[in-house]
Amino acid sequence: GQQLNQSPQSMFIQEGEDVSMNCTSSSIFNTWLWYKQDPGEGPVLLIALYKAGELTSNGRLTAQFGITRKDSFLNISASIPSDVGIYFCAGQLFNDMRFGAGTRLTVKP
């Protein structure tokens, strides 16, 4: 499907820093998902959001489902080297699922 607008495309941060990335769309979704993909692997689901305004945490990760249902953000606090990878957002409306282009995160020790 068509891609969502995901930003930034890449981030280079120092270990310990916080990270924020977001996705926007012109369409509404009933589910927002955030995945992480390591090189040569399939994406792994990090957080799933089902309600507008929902704020959900998974360890150092926090994500929110935008109130307009057209956007979502993912925050990573106190980054560590193993956070390196590509993060994809995905918006789902029944059988239609669209992906962002990904945010490539590099963490310097």
Partner 1 sequence: GAVVSQHPSRVICKSGTSVKIECRSLDFQATTMFWYRQFPKQSLMLMATSNEGSKATYEQGVEKDKFLINHASLTLSTLTVTSAHPEDSSFYICSARAGTLYEQYFGPGTRLTVT
User: Residue 90, interface with partner 1 (CB under 8 A)?
Assistant: yes
Q: Rounded distance, CA 36 to CA 47, Å?
A: 10
Q: How far apart are CA 70 and CA 11, in angstroms?
A: 23
Indicate which single residue of 15, 28, 44, 57 sits in contact with partner 1 (rule: CB under 8 A): 44
Burial state string for 19-50 with b = 16 or more CB within 10 A and e = fewer than 16 = bebbbbbeeebebbbbbbeeeeeebeebbbbe
40 binds partner 1 per the rule CB under 8 A: yes
State yes or no: residue 3 binds partner 1 (CB under 8 A): yes
Task: Single out the segment in contact with partner 1 by CB under 8 A; choices: 19-27, 35-43, 51-59, 73-81.
Answer: 35-43
User: What residue ranges bind partner 1 (CB under 8 A)?
Assistant: 1, 3, 31, 33, 35, 40-45, 48, 88, 90, 92, 94-95, 97, 99-102, 104
